[in-house]
Amino acid sequence: MDPNLLYWKSQGQSFISRLQIWVNLLDPTSLFCSDAQIQKARASLGSEGKSEKDAAALTLSLSSVHADSGTVLPLIFRPPAFLPISAPLVVASLLPHSSVKPAVFWQFLLQSYTAGFNCANRNSSAEQQDKAARLKQFLLIAGTVSYATCAGALPQIFISRLGVRSAPVLTFFRSILPIPLSAALALLSVYTLRNEELETGIQVFDSNGNPVGISKAAGHKAVKETALSRAALFGTTAAVPNLLVLLLKRTKPFQRNPFLVAPFRHISVACVLGLMIPVSFSLFPQLGAIKKEKLEEELQVAAVDGHLFYHRGL
């Protein structure tokens, strides 16, 4: 079993422990480390040395190396880069745009980045490397980004095409509809882009960390958990700031100074996103467990302890 997964197995089985780990791993200063430094740190994990050096090497490996392939993740798709890159895109995508074009533009950038992040951090233990598989993955990415961009811009499209001027209707399209829409698009994006895990399954391990086979049931569980965590991330990020703005607009300070609404919205979106990223990443274990009775028959015999382990992906 990969060193990253071994660490998650021993340290990341409770929500609080996972949250503490992710808060540490999401430190953006690790992005300044070169690929050579990351590979050197990963190579040193099995060797003896000072505990502080081991801890630093482990943190670098967990935040920068894919647990299935052992390769260094692309810089912009590493977990520490998620907040710095996605924050301005999420803020811009939730703005009350005046026309359809800027709404589509910012949705396209946001959906393109999240699609790339989902693909780079998925479980690739049973990934096929032939041309047909790569073409299928490319088409899935292009299709997902296209439909998510159009669906994400629907509130502004409705406002522009229907010529909406009523304040209550505008409030619905700009503040209420984006909440379930953001959550649904995040969930569907994960399911679509990680379709291969549903079709072919993912690697499962016994209690000793030995690979015992490929399981579609584990693949379904891994994708479901990741999709729910991503829906919680973007749904909450859309809900909290919008609802706060609706409440604060009724207060006297905001009625006297309406120009305060825009900066408050921007800051609150960025803050909620920053708080929710480690929480959403921690909702489910990185090394999940699936019960024996939910596994395929040929794999149940390997579940000596009543369950097998799988890498959830991110």
Please check whether residue 88 is in contact with residue 267, taking contact to mean a CB–CB distance below 8 angstroms: no
pLDDT for 45 beyond 90: no
pLDDT (tens digit, 9 = 90+) per residue, 221-258?
Answer: 999 999 999 999 999 999 999 999 888 888 888 878 87
Tell me how far CA of residue 237 lies from CA of 132, 134, 281, in angstroms.
37, 33, 14
The most confident of the ranges 114-118, 121-125, 197-201 is: 114-118
Domain residues of the chain, as ranges? 3-311
Please check whether residue 288 is in contact with residue 221, taking contact to mean a CB–CB distance below 8 angstroms: yes
User: What's residue 70's pLDDT?
Assistant: 86
User: What's residue 208's pLDDT?
Assistant: 86
pLDDT for 103 beyond 60: yes
Alpha carbon distance 32, 55 (integer Å): 18
Q: Which residue has the tokens 């990741």?
A: 226
Q: Return the bridge partners of 233, or none.
A: none
Alpha carbon distance 231, 239 (integer Å): 12
How many other β-carbons are positioned within 10 Å of the β-carbon of residue 240?
Answer: 18
pLDDT (tens digit, 9 = 90+) per residue, 125-172?
Answer: 877 666 777 888 888 899 999 999 999 999 999 999 888 888 888 889
Give the pair of three-digit tokens for residue 142. Answer: 């292009």
Q: Which residue has the tokens 């995508």?
A: 93
The DSSP code for 77 is: G
pTM confidence score: 0.92
Spell 164-196 as b/e; 16+ CB within 10 A means b: beeeeeebebbbbbbbebbbebbbbbbbbbbbb
Phi–psi pair at 95, nearest 5 degrees = -70, 150
User: Letter for the amino acid at 76?
Assistant: I
pLDDT for 49 beyond 60: no
Please check whether residue 215 is in contact with residue 202, taking contact to mean a CB–CB distance below 8 angstroms: yes
Show the CA angle centred on residue 142, arms to residues 235 and 237, nearest 5°.
10
Give the pair of three-digit tokens for residue 272. Answer: 């909620």
